[in-house]
Structure 1
Amino acid sequence: MSEHENEKHASNVLVDSEGSSHGQESTQAPYWSPEQEKRLLLLIDFQSGNAMTDNFMKEVGITQFEYNVGNQLMYLGIVLFEIPSNLVLYKVGPAIWIGFQIVAWGMDMVHTLQRGSFLGFDFQRICECGYIPAGLYTMTRFYKKDEISKRFAVFFLGNMVANAGAGLLAFGILRMRGIANLSGWQWLFLYWQLTVTQQLEGMLTIVIAVLFITLFPRSTSNPVSLAGLRLFTEEEAHIITQRVLLDDPTKKHAHTHVSREELKAVFTNWKLIAHVMTTLGSLSAIASLASFGPSIVASYGYKAVEANAMNSIGYWILIPVTLFWGWAADKWGKCGPMVMFGTFISFVFLIAQRCIAETDKVTAKYAIITVVYAFSFNWHPINGSWMALNAKSAGERSITMAILIMAANASGIVGGQIFQASDAPNYKVGWSVSVALSCIGFVSSVVANVQYWKLNRLNKKKGNTGFVYHP
């Protein structure tokens, strides 16, 4: 740097994200150029991409009872251990904790091959359950306020692609009916049973873990991976850290751990209730569709094989819709309205689906359920970024992300039994329950918007120039 740049560098030093001081805090303009910042942002995006292994196949080949118990243990582990996981993340850092979780998941995939190990390893997923909240929180440390929503949206694409791809995969395999005198469902069953398939998936996950450990930086201020690879120069590391702290000083790590005060602040934060209820209501309303969607489409009169492919179309549409939602939330700086609008669209089309459930309008039924998929959880990543932006400290933000994913997984338990065989084929009760849950989610999103609007107005009226809630 030139002498003039060095002087500006010295005058703009903040406390870094790890809490170590390099000088006096300042609110002056950054000394680096927009071109430097844009180039570093692209590099950060590349590094973050290595952490986006958000979806893995489940073990099959066991009785329904064993499978259900295994899933119950998995959900129990997730709900109970999300917060402890992010406490560990805050203490040891993302490079160590996320890297460990990906390795553990890969080992699970390689070794979960027998009935006895299914239940044990599913409960051992408590070691891996914090991957998503860990990933979300880590991104908040690398990006500014107007860069978070679109990155959160991209982060969830792994889940969407997996849901969309599963239907196409089933469509292809089920067409093998008659080969070797086996039916289509037997070929699908054998595919998931193949030890080599399970091991390949597990080994691929471990390879991803190695790449993550090799490439992902320990922190913004110490951009050296666990493998010793330095990803940014000292000046670049300084820019990455300071650009985030200048944008949002609450992202400073004032402690090496989440303090008791921060834990108390989260658990007494009544404003999170609306976010949790939005997640529980709106996600529970569509949770069963992941399992029953193909059967519902088939009940409209389509062939079972075709129903799997047709069911995936909505998920493919969901991908660009979610990306747009994230881009728009960052562009306009309004997470709340985007969440509210997303839950409203889902609510409206669930009402439409219920209204024609007892009719013979097959094409209309399929068109509407496709739109329901397309707007099923495009708002969910934005709700997460909204919660993160309104956290008042780094520790609070870490625990808040864990609560978000706890609510998301709890919705799978709440909505898992909506569609019952006794209610087939029209599922009048099932669609009615979905509408009711979606209504709860939409109303909660409205409450969330109103509460921040009123709080900001109240603070402004009192002349309080402190924390401003993100709309």
Structure 2
Amino acid sequence: MADEKQIADVSESQLSTSDDEGRELTWTEAEEKALVRRVDLLVMPLLILGFFALQLDRGNIGNAMTDFFLRDVGITQFQFNIGQQLLSAGIVVLEIPSNMILYRVGPPIWIGAQILAWGLVATFQAFQKGLGPYLATRLLLGLCEAGFIPAGLFTITRWYKRDETSTRFSFYFIGNMFAGGCSGLIAYGILHMRGICGLAGWQWLFLLEGLFTLLVGILFIALFPLSSAKPVSLLGIRYFSEREAQILQHRVLRDDPTKFQPRRNVSWGEVKATFTNWRLLPHFFMTLLGMAPAHTMGAYAPSLVVSFGFDRLKSNAMLSIGSWLLLLTNLAWGAIADKTKLRGPMVFLGVFLLWGFTIGNRVLVESTDGNLRFGVLVTAIAFQAPWHAVHGSWLALNAKTAGERSITMAIFIMSANVAGIIGSQLFQAEDAPLYRTGWTVIMVLVSLALLMSIFANAQYWLLNRFQKREGEARYHY
């Protein structure tokens, strides 16, 4: 209670700050809307571009699989799965330390450095040969990517109000989904370069997309503003006037005083409070169970389409249909969640639809109708994760302090990457090409995720009912 009182006192002091003429800072609704539009055009595109590069570099190995990657490198499918697990493990290990560093040094330096680091690894993985180099590059890629996604989520909460975050979280994840839609089309073209300069198509894929990431990292460091209070880039470019910067900061703090950041480090108390918060458990398990199939599809969906009877290289382009549809469902989920202020129910609906399409894929596992199986698979991909960004917004809204919000976002993305460790082993060579056992396990995992979504909604509903007896309800659902 003492910590909460201190935050309230400090925040109230911050909110009462006056402008240069000694009057309380005020602004019009039109002025605020214009500033938010400018933030949307400045902050979001750079974060989305970084996410786009990240997904290209960690997801293009699924496209490489259709170009004899296993044969050329000299590894088995089981060893390939181990490498995918190491990628996720590397992300999990450094997720929280990365966000703590972000809290201290700020987004332009830390996020930009991360993009450059994984861009170098992504580029030079084109020259891997043998099991050792393959495992090393996957682990290094994960270590360098660790913290990027929660760092972006936390940064968004510093620029936007509570009823704006679900939409912006969804826009942020557009980078991921846009890469999913483009990667197959890009791969279809690049993989035809096999033989040029003596390189395989998958080598050109890693080289060109890795070099693109390095360019994104340079742009991010050069252009991203330091903070809403100091909207200046490292190059000295100032994006907002002093008054506009005050409005940007005050509008967020007046909406949610817990976003006040009095220190440049996360306290031990905030770390302890986050890790002992039992309300996070159903969120953690929902993400762990519900996102595992997405990691499986990221690596094996192109190969599945080939097994349906379609062309080896064309399968990459065909599969992009699901990713483009996912982009639309993701935006719809975020917009509806902010409009209705019902994040929890929207998360439940998303997991429920995923559950239904997962059952459809399992039922059709013996079908010889390739077109039908492709249609159901693409539709399942379109609904595999629109709830994920809204889920992150839901968690962020229920964090008590800025420090807790930072650690919570790290744990949220950690659970998604632990899901990657599970998802990487769901499809095994001896189960190919139908993957009966794999699809059965996926069905069980999503069923459990659905139960966790029900539990997460129920806990906040019950807690608010109990608290209404004593005063105002405090939890968002």
Q: TM-score, normalised by structure 1?
A: 0.86
Could you tell me whether the CA contact under 8 Å between 2:17 and 2:25 is conserved in 1?
no
Higher mean C-alpha deviation, range 277-286 or range 390-399: 277-286
Offset, 1:437:
0.4
- Change in 2 beyond 3 A, CA 1:103/1:22: farther
Q: Which of 156, 163, 177 does residue 160 from structure 1 map onto?
A: 177
Structure 1 residues 244 and 112 mapped into 2: Cα distance closer, same or farther (>3 Å)?
A: same
Q: Which has the higher helix share?
A: 2
Q: Which residue of 1 aligns with 2:30?
A: 35
- Shift in Å at residue 310 of structure 1? 2.7
2:231 to 223, 229, 233: 223
What is the aligned-residue identity percentage? 43
Who is 1:46 aligned against? 41
Q: CA deviation at 1:206?
A: 3.1
The root-mean-square deviation of aligned C-alpha atoms, in Å, is 2.9
Cα distance, 1:456–1:405 mapped onto 2, change above 3 Å:
same
- For residues 146-173 of structure 1, the C-alpha deviation after alignment (integer angstroms, 9 at most, x for no partner) is 1111111111122212222233344446
Pair 1:368–1:188, CA change in 2 (3 A): farther
**Cα-to-partner distance string for 1:89-114 (whole Å, 9 max, x where unaligned):** 11111122112212223333444454
Q: Is the 8 A contact 2:122 2:206 kept in 1?
A: yes
Q: Once the 2 structures are TM-superposed, how far is the Cα of residue 230 of structure 1 from its aligned partner?
A: 1.5
Going from structure 1 to structure 2, the CA distance change for 1:29 and 1:319 (only over 3 Å counts) comes to farther
* Distance in 2 between residues matched to 1:268 and 1:235, nearest whole Å: 40
List aligned pairs for 1:310-325, cutoff 5 A.
310-325=318-333
Cα distance, 1:456 vs. partner? 0.9
Name the structure 2 match of 1:8: none
- Residues 313 and 114 of structure 1, relative CA distance in 2, 3 Å threshold: closer
Name the aligned partner's letter for residue 157 of structure 2.
T
Say if 1:336 and 1:426 are closer, same or farther in 2 by CA, change over 3 A.
same
- Using the TM superposition, give the Cα deviation of residue 288 of structure 1 relative to its aligned residue in structure 2, in angstroms: 1.3
Alpha-carbon distance in 1 for matches of 2:217, 2:433 = 44
Contact 1:286–1:434 (8 Å) recurs in 2 = no
1:369 to 367, 374, 377: 377
Q: How does 1:112-191 map to 2 (within 5 A)?
A: 112-115=125-128, 122-125=138-141, 126-172=143-189, 190-191=200-201
CA distance in 2 between partners of 1:98 and 1:413 (Å): 24
Following superposition, the deviation at residue 295 of structure 1 comes to 2.6
Q: Secondary structure at the match of 1:64?
A: coil
Deviation, structure 1 residue 213: 2.2
Superposed displacement of residue 76, structure 1: 2.1
CA distance in 2, matches of 1:103, 1:297: 33
CA–CA separation in structure 2 for the residues paired with 1:64 and 1:208? 31
Which one of the candidate residues 96, 103, 116 is aligned to 2:109? 96
> What is the match of residue 23 of structure 1?
17
Answer yes or no: is the 8 Å Cα contact 2:11–2:257 preserved in 1.
no
- The worse-fitting range, judged by mean Cα deviation, of 32-41 and 294-303 is 294-303
Q: Hey, what does 1:57 align to over in structure 2?
A: 57
Aligned-partner residue type, residue 368 of structure 2: D
For residue 16 of structure 1, report the CA deviation from its aligned partner. Answer: 7.4
Change (3 A) 1:107 1:422: closer
- 1:468 corresponds, among 447, 467, 474, to 474
Aligned length: 443
Unaligned runs of 5+ residues in structure 1 are 1-13
Counterparts of 2:450 and 2:198, CA distance in 1:
38
5+ long unaligned stretches in structure 2? 1-8, 62-68
> In the alignment, residue 246 of structure 2 is paired with which amino acid?
H
TM-score when normalising by structure 2: 0.85
Query: Is the partner of 2:176 in helix, strand or coil?
Result: helix
- Structure 1 residue aligned with 2:3: none
User: Aligned with 1:271: secondary structure?
Assistant: helix
